[in-house]
Chain A
């Protein structure tokens, strides 16, 4: 299945079109968008054989793209000093809501019981929610999460590729998992015993 992605120019072409549209919207610059899409596709398709399904491959390619876009916007922001909706501010806010100042769960945010969670794996709607939650992660978090959990890369390889320290990686993965868990509970598993 994974090999056939390369043998299916129509799929790649459609994917490229969707990426270009998304990147152009985000960056308001066709040339920058084309560069980002090109780089993201080359980077992402190196690991294409980790993916049996096309939906997951698409999510992965878009995660790389969002990350590239964020890099470019961050650079732009530094140059023109415009305010922009980048991940840092957002993240602290969402993150600190989970715990109180002493690091204990805020009552509303404490994990609830999930009833037979893996039974949901057979439900197509669950995977839509899973995808939505993945795409809701800040770009860098989703990228390292997917490198770790989809491509199954080890710490060292991720740190080298992304250019971050081991402790940075631990922080990003911790936040990604907290957020993803929270999102799945809110959008899918909620309603269990408090």
Chain B
């Protein structure tokens, strides 16, 4: 190999190595720095909240969590009842009833969550509150909607519920 080519290869290797080191180092540092803090640190950063606004929101959040946990417990218990009804070979009507109850509980959970989002959004400055509410609806309700839409579409694979 020619001397020039060797030199360029070595220089390129050094440059690539240093650039990779800089890229991953900076990425890790920034990711760690931005993700640091508790569950609510994102709210402060994203919606530029003051200390007093954060304090109010923290209180709401801490008030909401036990309700959320309780609801999760009820949903998990109902889920077990549905599974038990299906496993015991109980009548279809009984299993259906349990499924309806499970669906109702999930809807209640979502409604409670929405109420919490609205409450939090009111503790924020107007514009930020609207943005927060829209973002939360997109991330939580939109997530389920996305799944339902994908199931409702008529995919080429034949999967999905669109043809039923």
Asked whether A and B interact, the reply is: no
The interface of chain A, by Cβ under 8 A from chain B, is: none
Partner-A contacts on B (CB < 8 A): none
